[in-house]
């Protein structure tokens, strides 16, 4: 969580970009990311040099021979010269970092373009970023700064992709419970929100209770080898959108993962061939996208061009035997009548253990979209015996475009009831949550919409007879007339 002062500075940065001619929010956040990135590059270099001195080892700065590419140097230049220098010297320098120790930086900056149009906008942006004092803040706060920047994105992509609310991601993570040693994948990673949350959950699980109470997920129970494995061999993300790839790289870096495994690729296409590779898959894939039939990967057995269905089969293919998945789907996946819809649901029930279907209200993704959605939780490799349903009615925020915080929130109850579902064995379908046997689901064409099974309780309302209502209206009218007469007489 960021303090009000820091949020105010970030909001000011947005305003400056907007008034400076960069009104596309994705372009704006990309350019902001580059600036924050450049500042951190020098901060990390200084830190590495200081550590080398402490242990008596030799350190060669990544800025050797290019000292004028340091943030502290060029940000002191006059505005006109600053803009020219960043565009013509700093960006080319960053692209030449391949093969060095900080090669992730070059990967992040590959094909990047500097589009800040005016010297005054660059100078104002630099001043605001310096005022944030990012250098002195801890890694968690750096990550929070970036998360707050991402939260300002208010538009969905043309293929139906949009940022998943962080409280929904955290609910999914709490239920799925990723652990150290898991290989975790998001095949449509967007801004990498799922990967960041999974990383933080694992850190929290490997932090002593005393530090957790302080809100410090330091991961102090892990040794150097385990830290290396978590940061370099545990988190994998893919996205077909180059801007999203850059943003997700920066997001992971700002959370302390210096060399993220993020690639630009359409995971539904023939260019992506992974299978049986991951223990955990977390995703909110695009809802309304489509793909050319000739480009669909050869592993798919479902005859469809609907990406929301293809992604479900992809996730099944990506999981190892016993692997777990949590995925957000549009409601149409739950009850669609096409052969492809039925085949996908049959796969989830017959070749997986469909652990839960959490139905979410339509306002959860506002202001991006008003579509109704559900979260599916499934485990690959064993058939389903019964399905646990939960009808979420509130997620802690209003379901309009404003999405202000409210008291009603089913999410803590969902997590608790899911973890205790086998102890309670709730079968009363008048409640928000209950079990449905597999046979009944199969008899209903594998329909997974909760409305198919939940019993609605109708309360009988007693109305007065029309004659009595009419009499009361006439009496009330007479009273009003008498009152008006008295007022007139006075």
Q: What value does the mean pLDDT take over residues 85-112?
A: 73
Q: What is the pLDDT of residues 303-347, one digit of tens each?
A: 888 999 999 999 999 999 999 999 999 999 999 999 999 999 999
pLDDT at 157 over 60: no
Q: Which of 7-21, 223-237, 387-401, 405-419 has the lowest mean pLDDT?
A: 7-21
Q: What value does the mean pLDDT take over residues 135-149?
A: 62
Tokens of 423: 């102890």
pLDDT level of residue 48 (50, 70, 90 thresholds): confident
pLDDT at 38 over 90: no
**CA 94 – CA 87 distance, rounded (Å):** 11
Residue 19 is inside which H or E element, if any? helix 4-19
Report the percent of the chain where pLDDT is more than 70. 89
pTM here is: 0.82
> Which of the listed ranges 105-119, 255-269, 431-445 does the model predict with the highest average pLDDT?
431-445
pLDDT at 389 over 80: yes
Q: Strand pairing partners for 405?
A: 397
How would you class 4 by CB atoms within 10 Å of its CB: exposed for 0-12, middle for 13-18, buried for 19 or more? Answer: exposed
Tokens of 2: 């960021």
- Find the length of the chain: 490
Q: Where does residue 124 fall: left (phi above 0), alpha (psi -120 to 50 degrees), or beta otherwise?
A: alpha
pLDDT level of residue 160 (50, 70, 90 thresholds): very low
Q: What is the pLDDT of residue 135?
A: 47
pLDDT at 229 over 90: yes
Q: Strand pairing partners for 326?
A: 282, 377
pLDDT at 462 over 90: no
pLDDT at 130 over 90: no
Q: What value does the mean pLDDT take over residues 420-429?
A: 86
Which domains are assigned to the chain?
4-149 (1.20.1260), 155-452 (3.40.50.150)
8 A C-beta contact, residue 176 and residue 280: yes
Q: What is the pLDDT of residues 248-272, one digit of tens each?
A: 888 888 787 877 899 999 999 999 9
Report the percent of the chain where pLDDT is more than 90. 46
User: In 425-465, where does DSSP find H-type helix?
Assistant: 438-443
Q: What is the pLDDT of residue 368?
A: 62
pLDDT at 161 over 50: no
Q: What value does the mean pLDDT take over residues 189-196?
A: 91
Q: What value does the mean pLDDT take over residues 209-218?
A: 83
pLDDT level of residue 460 (50, 70, 90 thresholds): low
> Which of the listed ranges 154-168, 184-198, 210-224 does the model predict with the highest average pLDDT?
184-198
pLDDT level of residue 142 (50, 70, 90 thresholds): low
pLDDT at 488 over 80: no
Q: What is the pLDDT of residue 290?
A: 67
């Amino acid at each position: 969580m960021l303090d009000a002062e820091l949020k105010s500075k970030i909001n000011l940065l947005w305003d400056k970009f907007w008034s400076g001619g960069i009104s596309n929010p994705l372009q704006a956040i990309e350019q902001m990311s580059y600036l924050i990135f450049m500042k951190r590059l020098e901060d990390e270099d200084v830190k590495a040099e200081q550590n080398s001195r402490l242990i008596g080892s030799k350190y060669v700065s990544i800025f050797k021979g290019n000292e004028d590419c340091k943030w502290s140097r060029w940000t002191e230049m006059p505005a006109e010269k600053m803009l020219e220098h960043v565009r013509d010297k700093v960006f080319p320098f960053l692209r030449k970092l391949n093969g060095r120790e900080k090669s992730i930086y070059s990967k992040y900056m590959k094909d990047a373009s500097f589009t800040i149009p005016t010297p005054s906008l660059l100078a104002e942006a630099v001043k605001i970023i310096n005022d944030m004092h990012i250098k002195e803040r801890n890694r968690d706060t750096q990550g929070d700064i970036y998360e707050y920047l991402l939260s300002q994105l208010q538009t969905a992509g043309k293929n139906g992709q949009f940022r998943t609310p962080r409280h929904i991601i955290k609910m999914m993570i709490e239920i799925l419970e990723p652990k150290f040693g898991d290989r975790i994948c998001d095949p449509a990673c967007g801004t990498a929100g799922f990967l960041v949350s999974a990383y933080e959950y694992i850190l929290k699980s490997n932090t002593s209770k005393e530090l957790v109470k302080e809100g410090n997920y330091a991961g102090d129970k892990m040794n150097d080898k385990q830290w290396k494995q978590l940061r370099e061999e545990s988190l994998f993300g893919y996205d077909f959108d180059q801007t999203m790839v850059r943003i997700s790289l920066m997001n992971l870096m700002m959370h302390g993962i210096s060399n993220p495994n993020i690639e630009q690729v359409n995971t539904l296409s023939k260019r992506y061939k992974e299978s049986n590779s991951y223990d955990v898959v977390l995703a909110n894939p695009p809802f309304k996208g489509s793909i050319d039939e000739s480009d669909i990967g050869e592993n798919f057995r479902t005859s469809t061009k609907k990406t929301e269905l293809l992604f479900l089969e992809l996730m099944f293919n990506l999981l190892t035997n016993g692997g777990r998945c949590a995925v957000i789907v549009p409601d149409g996946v739950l009850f669609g009548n096409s052969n492809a819809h039925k085949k996908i649901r049959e796969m989830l029930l017959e070749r997986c253990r469909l652990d839960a279907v959490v139905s979410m209200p339509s306002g959860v993704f506002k202001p991006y979209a008003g579509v109704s959605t559900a979260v599916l939780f499934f485990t690959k490799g064993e058939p389903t015996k019964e399905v646990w349903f939960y009808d979420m009615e509130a997620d802690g925020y209003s379901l309009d475009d404003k999405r202000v915080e409210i008291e009603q929130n089913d999410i803590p109850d969902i997590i608790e009831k899911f973890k205790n579902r086998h102890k309670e064995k709730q079968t009363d379908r008048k409640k928000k949550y209950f079990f449905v046997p597999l046979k009944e689901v199969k008899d209903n064409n594998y329909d997974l919409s909760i409305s198919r099974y939940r019993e609605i309780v109708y309360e009988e309302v007693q109305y007065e007879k029309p004659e009595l209502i009419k009499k009361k209206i006439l009496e009330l009218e007479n009273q009003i007339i008498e009152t008006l007469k008295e007022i007139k007489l006075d």
